[in-house]
Structure 1
Amino acid sequence: MPLRSEPLRKLGFLTIGLFDEADPRRGHESTLEIIELGERLGFDSAWLRHRHLQFGISSPVAVLAAASQRTSRIELGTAVIPLGWENPLRLAEDLATVDILSGGRLNPGLSVGPPRHYDQLKDALYPDTADAEDFGYGRVVRLLDHVRGKPATDFSGVEGIEVYSDHVQPFSPGLGGRLWYGGASLRSAQWAGEQGMNFLTSSVVRAESGDTADFAEIQLSLVRAFRAHHPEGGNARVSQGLVVIPTDSATPAQRAKYEAYAAQRTPRTRAPQGPARMLFAPDLVGTSAEIAERLYAHVAFREIHEVAFALPFTFDHEDYVQILTDIATKLGPALGWRPAG
């Protein structure tokens, strides 16, 4: 978005779907209601985070299957499914099934790497193969091949009364073009471009050796590296996922909560964190006009055309309703976006 006269094309949101251990249904229902609200407000997409052994959505594909039957237009995504927890063949079947049920609205976002706390859970997750599992890019390639219709076996045909296919069924032809890679490093951005995937860049990037501690500049380098290695070049799809909290219609109590939330997280934005040198973007809190000004000053934002603004983790349902309503009715229009019909 190099010029203010060029409108934001796609507006989405991302939620973690928290729930109370004592009443998990209520939390999952809240997530579905938020997705339904997003469709009514004209958002282009709704995305779910992925959490294992925590009190957030552990099976976003299942939740999106439910959402697909309660919505008719909004695109449904995951940001992101960590493939270290998944069998690519089985996941390809689930993704294709939900894509068919949704009418071709699924946007699966993926990532690689060993599961968090792997040493503590590997015996439960991979009791016989824990030390042999490959958590690198090859796991994504396997999923890409299955989703894009490459054979999974050399057998097909009829056996007795059973009919077999040599590739994943159901096959959803458009799904292969709607796979996203969530990357925080230059290497991941380049690799995703080479695979012809779409690219999700969030509020976390990796400060490589020699990088400045400027989040926006690092994120811009990822966007440009991705497009430089993608067959579609500058037209390759990139979505940015900053934490955005407009306060236009917030109550005084809500504004205080939001400001305290952002302040608590601000120290981690000042320098790279940990051995991996992860750098976090500041949360954007304020009126929609104030947030729009900060976004237009963000060098990476100026080169993308779609966003999936992240909702904070720990807020209440009514807070999400207020935030989404302000994004759709105030912030989106300030960025030139128009709600989908």
Structure 2
Amino acid sequence: MVVRSTVKNIGFLSFGHWADSPHSMVRSAQDSLLQSIELAVAAEEVGADGAYYRVHHFAQQLASPFPLLSAAAARTNRIELGTGVIDMRYENPLYMAEDAGAADLISSGRLQLGISRGSPEQVIDGFRYFGYEPYASDPAGAELAREHTAKFLEVLSGEGFARPNPRPMFPNPPGLLRVEPYAPGLRDRIWWGAGSRATAEWTAQQGMNLMSSTLLTEDTGVPFHQLQAEQIQRYRDAWKAAGHSREPRVSVSRSIFPIVSDLDKQLFWRERHSTDQVGHLEGGNARFGKTYAGEPDKLVAELAEDEAIAAADTLLLTVPNQLGVDYNAHVLESVLTHVAPELGWR
């Protein structure tokens, strides 16, 4: 079934992998950080709308998003800057609100923060090393993540809550004090990375935007894009039922590689017949979306049938960052030039 797309924003999502290997263009953490900034600049130059970064602790990947987001904000002028996603089990909500507020002000209100409970970790209960203990009834920390999120969202409202010192070092404004710096509007630019249909409904109830990835932690036997489209519809229904006043945003992530050069063919020709994969994640079934690779006309035909892309307003292109900035900028430009116009995206 060919479906009409509503995609208006196209950005990239980078995991920021590095490896000290002759096959990698990203050999160190410094390489990863600096190239992540350069890719944001390049993405803006080729006409993309967003630069998003994954967050993984205890891994040779990006882990501390706010210095990176601030640096990218200082080097760009237009594109959105975000995460997909920050694991809230690891976060101090008030400290995070300070960092996020500063990054958002540096970007002039371009921050789009994806948060969630996080993905399977590199270490056992890594959040414990950061000083956070889950409830005995919730060893994986899901409730811990939601509690941290609730406090974070509350602080982002800008309402004062802290009693001022009667003899402060500097004069205080009247009333209770809030965390500074305060970033107006940031509360409406928080996204939750939902891995299931039920979690998407919860996301809507909390008034957060929906960030859906290339996997879902459930499997009903239907193709991934249809299951994800159902998730999005449930989210929108729950949003309407909650009575929120603004329009929500929804993003999906995809691996899309137009083959328009010999190097593209060398790297991704074997992915032309990629299919959904069903596996196990944290003890349960999971469905993983396929890679889209091929000549542009083939991709246009395939992507026109992706019901979840059609239902979203934002598409994040997962990029193979270890291939370097130039190649990833080429991938973005190829999608924007050879695929997006034919599908009515943007």
Q: What TM-score do you get using the length of structure 1 for normalisation?
A: 0.86
Q: 1:187 maps to which residue?
A: 198
Residue 265 of structure 2, aligned match among 246, 255, 262: 255
Distance 1:189 1:120 in 2: 25
Q: Deviations over 1:106-139 (max 9, x none)?
A: 0000001587255364553227x46677424222
Q: 1:305 maps to which residue?
A: 313
In structure 2, give the amino acid aligned to 1:304: A
Q: 2:156 maps to which residue?
A: 147
1:254, 1:319 within 8 Å by CA — same for their partners in 2?
no
Distance 2:112 2:205 in 1: 19
Q: 1:14 maps to which residue?
A: 13
1:262, 1:282 within 8 Å by CA — same for their partners in 2?
no
Q: How does 1:255-294 map to 2 (within 5 A)?
A: 255-260=265-270, 269-274=276-281, 275-294=283-302
Q: Where does structure 2 lack aligned partners over 5 or more consecutive residues?
A: 21-26
- The secondary structure found in structure 1 opposite 2:307 is coil
Residue 109 of structure 1, aligned match among 107, 114, 120: 114
**Distance change (3 Å), C-alpha of 1:310 and 1:123:** closer
- The secondary structure found in structure 1 opposite 2:67 is helix
Q: Deviations over 1:76-117 (max 9, x none)?
A: 010111111111111111001100111000000000158725
Distance 2:319 2:304 in 1: 20
1:14, 1:48 within 8 Å by CA — same for their partners in 2?
yes
1:220, 1:299 within 8 Å by CA — same for their partners in 2?
yes
1:204, 1:281 within 8 Å by CA — same for their partners in 2?
yes
- The secondary structure found in structure 2 opposite 1:55 is coil
Residue 89 of structure 1, aligned match among 76, 80, 94: 94
Distance 2:82 2:166 in 1: 36
The CA deviation at 1:225 is 0.9
In structure 1, give the amino acid aligned to 2:153: L
The CA deviation at 1:206 is 2.0
Q: 2:256 maps to which residue?
A: 244
The more displaced of 109-118 and 184-193 is 109-118
**Distance change (3 Å), C-alpha of 1:240 and 1:75:** same
- The secondary structure found in structure 2 opposite 1:138 is helix
Matched, 1:65 2:70: yes
1:200, 1:240 within 8 Å by CA — same for their partners in 2?
yes
Q: Deviations over 1:133-173 (max 9, x none)?
A: 742422211111111224443x0365232345622111111
Distance 1:67 1:331 in 2: 27
Matched, 1:323 2:340: no
Distance 1:40 1:317 in 2: 12
Distance 1:273 1:262 in 2: 24
Distance 1:24 1:113 in 2: 21
Distance 2:65 2:256 in 1: 22
Distance 1:76 1:63 in 2: 10
Q: 2:23 maps to which residue?
A: none
**Distance change (3 Å), C-alpha of 1:217 and 1:8:** closer
1:311, 1:320 within 8 Å by CA — same for their partners in 2?
yes
Matched, 1:177 2:188: yes
**Distance change (3 Å), C-alpha of 1:234 and 1:271:** farther
In structure 2, give the amino acid aligned to 1:116: E
In structure 2, give the amino acid aligned to 1:74: I
Q: What TM-score do you get using the length of structure 2 for normalisation?
A: 0.85
In structure 1, give the amino acid aligned to 2:180: Q
The CA deviation at 1:65 is 0.3
The CA deviation at 1:181 is 0.6
- The secondary structure found in structure 1 opposite 2:184 is coil
In structure 1, give the amino acid aligned to 2:182: F
Residue 32 of structure 2, aligned match among 17, 27, 34: 27
**Distance change (3 Å), C-alpha of 1:261 and 1:302:** closer
In structure 1, give the amino acid aligned to 2:248: A
1:84, 1:114 within 8 Å by CA — same for their partners in 2?
no
Distance 1:290 1:308 in 2: 20
The CA deviation at 1:302 is 2.2
Q: How many residues are aligned here?
A: 328
